[in-house]
Amino acid sequence: MTKEPGIRISNLIKDYGGLRAVDGISFQVEEGELVGLIGPNGCGKTTTFNCISGMLDITSGQVEVLGHDVTGMRPDQIQAFGLTRTFQHTWLWPEMTVIENLLVPPRRQFAPNPLLALLRPRSRRAEKLRVIDAYSVLELLEISHVAHNLARDLSGGQSKLVDIGRALMSSPRFLLLDEPVAGVAGPLAERIFQNLNSLTSDKGLGMLVIEHNMDFILHRDVDRIIVMDSGRVLMEGTPDEIRGSRDVVEAYLGNREVPE
């Protein structure tokens, strides 16, 4: 059975005045796939994320999310279709605890009137279930021990993990993750990627992951890797195909060899 494309990008262009940051790229990622997006600094990876998620208006082209044309839509409208993203630099609420940060994103929370919410048993039960889900997410990410710490007191790696947790709490069908393991120690980063891979295989979640560490992403169990250079898609392929590409070596590593 053919999988439904999670995102489809068609001839996407983004200009900043006279600078073309994204130059006519096209690709798609299906639900249930874990795909890496790599490339040298300044090649347009984060700009592409910002265009997909509605953070930036595109110059031309089309963005489809889970079968919906979302070109020109606001981020909240796109998120309502089931796409959630994280950022390279985490935007946690510093004066809230970790568990409180996770309890904010879930969609369709009953809150038109706080007094009515208190009087409705169904809303109280739903709130209890959200708390259970939040602790389950923290357990998955192996940071349940900081559940009641203030976000301002977290390490950089812990902040990254909480940001991933918030994304998972919104019940996404597709995730855009911008360097999700940056600042996370090696063994934990490996386990995080194993857990992300489990989410794609067990729950059919689609993921597009920016990773600056080429050596790391090439040795993870990802379905495909998209390589960008100078605002364009240079190559798509499996990790083995990317490692064997001379074009990728020249664009990404200069004269150095791709790690085996």
Whether 77 is covered by a domain: the verdict is: yes
pTM for this structure? 0.85
| pLDDT band at residue 214 under the 50/70/90 scheme | confident
Average confidence (pLDDT) over 158-172: 89
Decide which of 79 and 142 is more confident.
79
pLDDT at 120: 61
Encode the chain in three state secondary structure: CCCCEEEEEEEEEEEECCEEEEEEEEEEEECCCEEEEECCCCCCHHHHHHHHCCCCCCCEEEEEECCEECCCCCHHHHHHCCEEECCCCCCCCCCCEHHHHHHCCCCCCCCCCHHHHHHCHHHHHHHHHHHHHHHHHHHHCCCHHHCCCEHHHCCHHHHHHHHHHHHHHCCCCEEEEECCCCCCCHHHHHHHHHHHHHHHHHHCCEEEEECCCHHHHHCCCCCEEEEEECCEEEEEECHHHHHCCHHHHHHHHCCCCCCC
94-103, 115-124, 151-160, 250-259: range with highest mean pLDDT? 94-103
The per-residue pLDDT for range 130-157, each reduced to its tens digit, is: 899 999 999 888 899 999 999 999 988 8
pLDDT at 259: 47
pLDDT at 141: 83
| pLDDT band at residue 1 under the 50/70/90 scheme | very low
Average confidence (pLDDT) over 185-212: 85
User: What residue numbers bound the domain in which 81 lies?
Assistant: 5-93+170-253
Whether 89 is covered by a domain: the verdict is: yes
Whether 39 is covered by a domain: the verdict is: yes
pLDDT at 115: 62
Mean pLDDT (the chain) is 86
Range of lowest pLDDT (95-99, 104-108, 246-250): 104-108
| pLDDT band at residue 252 under the 50/70/90 scheme | low
Tell me the CATH number at 34: 3.40.50.300
| pLDDT band at residue 21 under the 50/70/90 scheme | very high
Number of domains composing the chain: 1
Whether 30 is covered by a domain: the verdict is: yes
Q: Residue 225 pLDDT more than 80? A: yes
Range of lowest pLDDT (75-89, 100-114, 122-136): 100-114
Whether 116 is covered by a domain: the verdict is: no
